[in-house]
Structure 1
Amino acid sequence: MTVNVVNVTIPPSQYRVLIAGGCYGGLSAAINLLEKCDTIDSPISVDITIVDERDGYYHIIGSPLAMASKEYAEKAWVEYKNIKILQRPNVTFVQGTVANVDCENKTATIAEHKTHKTRVESYDFFVAATGLRRVWPVVPQALTRETYLTEVGAHCDKVLNATAPVLVVGGGAVGIEMATELKHIKPSVQVTLAHSRDKLLSAEPLPDMVKDCALELTEQLGVEVLLNHRLASSTPTKSADGSVVHEVEFTNGHKMVVSEVITAISNSVPSSSYLPQQALDSDGYVNAQATMHFPEGVPNAESHFAAGDMIHWSGIKRCGGALYQGKIASWNIHQTILQQLQGKEPDFLRLGEVPPMIGLAVGKNAISYGAEGMNYGPQVMHVFFEDDLGFRIVWDHLQLGGSTK
């Protein structure tokens, strides 16, 4: 009898998946992968480690409301130990920073925040989902829930008790939402939104009707909008009653005195310095393939994935996009595992081109724009954001309060 000897790679008894980033893309990848691997007829043993600088999940798109409401701020940050769906023996959270990823050897160097120690973690699959590094006050800079509540609480005290106008600088989506959420929460506060261009949302590839609608709804709420106003200087000084105010001047010569200056120009950069250069474009974004794999040429690219705001892709950066990309990464990891275990040809999901689309909260109203055109009003607010800037929608979509078992 002739025996054909075939070289077979024996898969590990338990697959190790390391995910950098515990927000939309990272959590979506983890939860969707667990759901696939828990399938009763073909269960797969996986061990997932999620590394994030924060000690909890922070609903980033809720930041404009968190910066105006202490009550909402309490809700917007949930410590990972309270994310019920991921309280499993095979899921580990590490509060720390991924300092380096060695794709060739499938190891990552992790600096742990609590122990101040550095360790090397081996993995079978890696998902980069660390997003963009955004500045204060676009997002809080605190890394623990306790310090976050202190940081945001102090900001709320200042803006909600302002006697002179609060100036929000930057008329992009974040600036519009920060100005209008503050005005919506505390109508008596004077809020001014200054933007350097002649249209709001000027950096976004959106039609003028969307930008004009954003201006109209913002002004209807009572926010003063100053277009073609680029901030030149802001000088703190004392008012007649002894409180600190700011004398601001714009490049066009316009001057005003304000209680607070909120800079809503994020200048966001990808949080990707730990990845090999051959995986990145010139701006630091991951050149992800449509399957969310790292680009060809990176060692073991078939085992490395990226999702969320840190990837170079068409369309406007959105929470929904990050959630879907995390799902694609998880599906394709599962397909690769099935290939290794059962010899099945993988049926990869692929991300197509994403046209410009947006959902923008403007007080009690919202604007949506996509393939179906533009819509706006309270009904759009309810569908896209409800009354908590989408916290409940995302929470339930990911089943964060539930269990995969």
Structure 2
Amino acid sequence: MASPRSAANPYKVFIAGGCYSGLAAAINLLEKCDSTPDGPISVQVTIVDERDGFFHVIGSPLALSDKAYAEKAWVGFKDVKILQRPDVRIVHGTVSKVDCKTKTATIVESSTQTESTENYDFFIAATGLRRAWPVVPQSLNRKAYLEEAGQHIDAVTNSTDPVLVVGGGAVGIEMAAELKVFQPQVKVTLAHSRDKLLSAEPLPDNVKECAINLVRDAGVEVLMSHRLVSSTPIKNEHGADAFDVVFQNGHKMVASVVIMAISKSVPSTDYLPKEALNEEALVNIKPSMQLKSDTIPNAETHFAIGDLMNWSGIKRCGGAMHEGKLAALNIHQLMLRDISGKQPEFKELEEIPPMIGLAVGKVALSYGPTEGMKHGKDVMRVFFEGT
């Protein structure tokens, strides 16, 4: 058994990524360590994130449609009260390398671009997927983000021709509907290359049909089976900047703004050992959230959670937070083994069936394997009220 840890010698937990899963892991771990029956466990949590605050990613379509909401969607880490404690350190920077054998992580701090190395007892990878503009803002600090969002909203507000959203996945649907709600004077068109919206998701046809009906009910024009070929900058008949848009089926239109909502997200996992990743650079994990590898040293003390995992299900913030909680509980179990010799009882992640919650203007659509499909204002209140 190990000697009891103290404030001078705490368990060091390093979390790469401060969004849904990373913050859920930190908060749940601190709570468990504080309330351990035999006395609190001393822990030092370090969270490293390339942003200077928490950005509510699933609220991005709304944040890029409404300036008032944009103000609320980004919260500086210094303003997250639950994290303001001496055993939590938050670093604005990136993780460039993790050495699992020596249990060290290399950090590049944003303000100085200087490198530093930090030792840890447990590592959690929670850096998610790298998503392109305008799926999420690209700014890494709150001030630049508000400028970025504001410029986008101004361009839409001042449009004289339709605003074209390309891509009928969840982001494209929400973006088109939110723009129409907050800019009702603007004609919004949603174009999708397939004959059904949400075509990339393993969802029943009735869900996809409901989605298109709700989008149209929101006042958005929908162009199905329209694959974008080109959008060329021009001056429109009013002398304003615009785009000459051509689709593969020969349809043409002029748009004031073209919003691409079809970019493929890339896992942010290049700091991890190659042996931990699959061919798509997602992290292979055990149901306990630990790295699934026979060759990586100390794999049992390295965890991966959130969108960067190679696991079933549609990527969702609810799932990411659940995975963060499981990782925290399992790390706590490893701490107890170290302290008392008690064998850990891991919580395991089950296979996740397809499920979704989708905001479409003033209403929402939900689907799960048990409750089936629901839609309407009540669903909006349940899933998105207060977001």
Going from structure 1 to structure 2, the CA distance change for 1:321 and 1:151 (only over 3 Å counts) comes to same
Partner in structure 1 of residue 378 of structure 2:
379
SS at match of 1:198: coil
Give the counterpart of 1:337 among 335, 358, 366. 335
Q: 1:53 Cα shift?
A: 0.2
Matched-pair contact (CA < 8 Å) for 2:61–2:171: yes
Counterparts of 1:338 and 1:140, CA distance in 2: 41
Return the letter of the residue paired with 2:307: D
Letter in 1 for 2:149: V
CA distance in 2, matches of 1:59, 1:155: 18
CA distance in 2 between partners of 1:323 and 1:240 (Å): 49
User: Distance in 1 between the 2:219 and 2:375 partners?
Assistant: 18
Distance in 1 between residues matched to 2:361 and 2:147, nearest whole Å: 25
Work out the CA distance in 2 between the residues paired with 1:63 and 1:40.
Answer: 38
Q: CA deviation at 1:241?
A: 2.5
1:397 aligns with none
The aligned amino acid for 2:145 is: Y
For 2:27, the aligned partner's letter is I
Q: CA deviation at 1:11?
A: 6.6
Instruction: Figure out how many residues of one structure are paired with residues of the other and give that number.
Output: 381
Q: 1:170 aligns with which of 164, 167, 170?
A: 167
Cα deviation for residue 9 of structure 1 reads 5.0
User: Which secondary structure state, in structure 2, belongs to the residue aligned with residue 17 of structure 1?
Assistant: strand
Contact 2:2 2:339 (C-alpha < 8 Å) held by counterparts? no
Q: Which residue of 1 aligns with 2:10?
A: 14
1:292 aligns with 2:273: no
Query: 1: CA distance between counterparts of 2:214 and 2:103?
Result: 50
Q: CA deviation at 1:240?
A: 2.9
Gaps of 5+ in 1: 1-7, 392-405
Determine if contact 1:106/1:124 at 8 Å carries over to the other structure.
yes
Select which of 230, 243, 246 maps to 2:243: 246
Alignment partners' CA distance in 1, 2:236 and 2:201: 38
- Does residue 214 (structure 1) correspond to residue 211 (structure 2)? The answer is yes
User: Does the Cα contact within 8 Å between 1:288 and 1:306 map onto a contact in 2?
Assistant: yes
Counterparts of 1:294 and 1:19, CA distance in 2: 14
Cα shift at 1:340: 0.5
- Give the TM-score taking structure 2 as reference length: 0.97
Question: Following the alignment from structure 1 to structure 2, what is the Cα–Cα distance between the partners of residues 368 and 40?
Answer: 38
Structure 2 equivalent of residue 70 of structure 1: 67
Aligned Cα root-mean-square deviation (Å): 1.0
Residue by residue, what CA displacement relative to the aligned partner does 1:343-372 show, whole Å, maximum 9, x if unpaired?
Answer: 111110000010000001111111110021
Q: CA deviation at 1:161?
A: 2.0
User: For residue 51 of structure 2, what is the aligned residue in structure 1?
Assistant: 54
Q: Distance in 2 between matches of 1:11 and 1:228?
A: 64
Query: Does the aligned pair in 2 maintain the 1:57–1:77 contact within 8 Å?
Result: yes
- Which structure 2 residues correspond to residues 200-349 of structure 1 after superposition, within 5 A? 200-297=197-294, 298-349=296-347
Aligned with residue 26 of structure 1, among 11, 22, 28: 22
Alignment check: 8 A CA contact 1:11 1:340 kept: no
- Alpha-carbon distance in structure 1 between the residues aligned to 2:112 and 2:232: 41
Cα distance, 1:300 vs. partner?
Answer: 0.3
CA contact under 8 A between 2:48 and 2:95: conserved in structure 1? yes
Q: Give 1:40 shift.
A: 6.0
Determine helix, strand or coil for the equivalent of 1:34.
Answer: helix
What does 1:85-164 correspond to in 2, within 5 Å? 85-164=82-161
The whole-number CA distance in structure 1 between the counterparts of 2:118 and 2:3 is 21
| Inter-partner Cα distance in structure 1 for 2:281 and 2:334 | 27
1:365 matched to which residue of 2? Answer: 363
